[in-house]
Amino acid sequence: VLKGNTDLYTVIWYGPNILVYSLIASVYFIFSPLLTGKIVMIVLILSWIASIYLLADFQNYPVENALLASMLVYNSSVYWGFLNFLIGWPVFVLWLIACLRPMNRKIFSAMLLISFFLYWAHALWFLIGSACLFVIALHQFKNWKSFLFRLLPVLPVGMISLIWYPMLSSVRAETGFDISPYWFFNPLTRLSPVYLVDAMLGGIHGPLECIVAS
């Protein structure tokens, strides 16, 4: 039913990038389509701001820092409509806080659950979360047993992703998608201050960008 009247689309229930659609569907059952879009965007933006304040509180940063960081909500992902990336940030903040806490059974269970939500938000969020966990575990290295134990929460989702990704590549190849990488611009240009300012403040143009960024 969900894929419509064509065999071109298939719902992969164990695939990533589906979390935001659960939110959209939940709101759509109650409100009209037009109002659904507005409510979903409000929820995503408020969750971004709330997660920034949560992270600032966890790190004991001044509230002014969180206030300034909240302006980054209106980045290029908002204006391009990358909702999967937007919903992933609050989940990533929870993941980061859990990674920084001392490991115990409660934290392990929380990380195991959050790892699935990272994966459901977007595959790249799960990849970034796994990389952060590896760096944190390496920084706090005591012995190999504790190091490997800290990495265990990502193992179940990692195994699922190893099944999903080859299938995605195969389906794209069979349906005619060009999956070859193309570099139209040098990736290092994304490190330039001009690009970073444009990416951080996607809806603001002109000298105000530099003023806000500084």
Q: Looking at 117-189, which runs of residues are DSSP E strands?
A: none
Q: How many angstroms separate the CA atoms of 134 and 128, rounded?
A: 10
Structure tokens at 137: 């575990």
For residues 124-151, give the mean pLDDT.
92
The answer to whether 19 touches 120, Cβ cutoff 8 Å, is yes
The answer to whether 203 touches 78, Cβ cutoff 8 Å, is yes
Predicted pLDDT at 1:
42
pTM: 0.81
Token pair 């894929």 is found at: 3
- Angle subtended at Cα 160 by Cα 170 and Cα 96, rounded to the nearest 5 degrees: 120
Tens digit of each residue's pLDDT (9 = 90 or more) over 186-205: 767 777 777 776 667 666 66
